[in-house]
Amino acid sequence: MGEGSGVTDGEIAEILDGIGPRLRAVRRGRGLTLEALARDTGISVSTLSRLESGKRRPTLELLIPLARAHRVALDQLIAAPATGDPRVHLTPFQRERGNVLVPLTQYPGRLQVYKQVLTHRECKLVTHTGYEWLYVLAGELQLLLGDQEFTLRPGEVAEFDTTEPHWFGPAGGTAVEVLHLFGPHGDQAVVRTGPSAKP
């Protein structure tokens, strides 16, 4: 959080109080009983019941397995409306000047998906553990991968192991908009094009 975005004790209490009804709404929306959810998460029925009724305060140790069982992002259990509203309110992050990052998924420890708008950025090769997949939505993307250079146009895709030195940014003077998937090492995007082959 940036400066000036502090949360008051009252706001924290309000957020915590809203988690129980939200957990109940998500569980009922998926047609699950407390017993079925207990089997999926390893959390006892009594603990789940107390969480939903607000008699037990939620902790990360309880919320993370619940988020995984419900296949939702952790922040959806904490901040989404308790009405079962499926809309996700995305929060863009301003990076360097003109560069915007919008997380589309926030699953802990799994493939992450971002929408990115990139303007001029310093050309500096980096390496890190993981696997990246880039899809160009608008503009042209310049990708440096080891000693190779590529230009991607709208509709084109690149995927690569991030242990190889790499950099990407706009190919020209205008911004480029991309979908950016990043996963743990070996967690690759599977791209399927066209109908599957007939036997």
Instruction: For residues 183-193, give the mean pLDDT.
Output: 51
Mean per-residue pLDDT of the chain:
77
* CA nearest to 160, candidates 193, 194, 126, 137: 126
My answer on whether 65 and 101 are in the same domain is: no
Domain limits at 144? Answer: 93-183
* 158: in domain: yes
Do 74 and 99 belong together in one domain?
A: no
Beta carbons of 141 and 176 less than 8 angstroms apart: yes
pLDDT band at 90 (very low <50, low <70, confident <90, very high): low
DSSP string, 82-138: TT---------EE-STT-EEEES---TTS-EEEEEEE-S-----B--SSEEEEEEEE
pLDDT(187) > 90: no
Select the more confidently predicted residue: 109 or 135: 135
CATH number where 51 lies: 1.10.260.40
pLDDT band at 67 (very low <50, low <70, confident <90, very high): confident
Contact (Cβ atoms closer than 8 angstroms) between residue 194 and residue 160: no
pLDDT at residue 27, rounded to an integer? 85
Place 30 in a pLDDT band, splitting at 50, 70 and 90: confident
pLDDT digits (tens, 9 = 90+) for 39-50: 989 999 999 999
Using one digit for the tens of pLDDT, what is the confidence trace for 128-146?
888 888 999 999 999 999 9
Q: What is the pLDDT of residues 174-184, one digit of tens each?
A: 889 998 887 76
| 103-107, 114-118, 145-149, 181-185: range with highest mean pLDDT | 145-149
For the residues 149-175, what does the mean pLDDT come to? 90
- Whether 44 and 104 map to the same domain: the answer is no
Question: Could you tell me if residue 146 is inside a domain?
Answer: yes
Domain count, the chain: 2
107 and 48 within one domain? no
Among 29-33, 76-80, 88-92, 111-115, the least confident range: 88-92
CATH of the domain at 118: 2.60.120.10
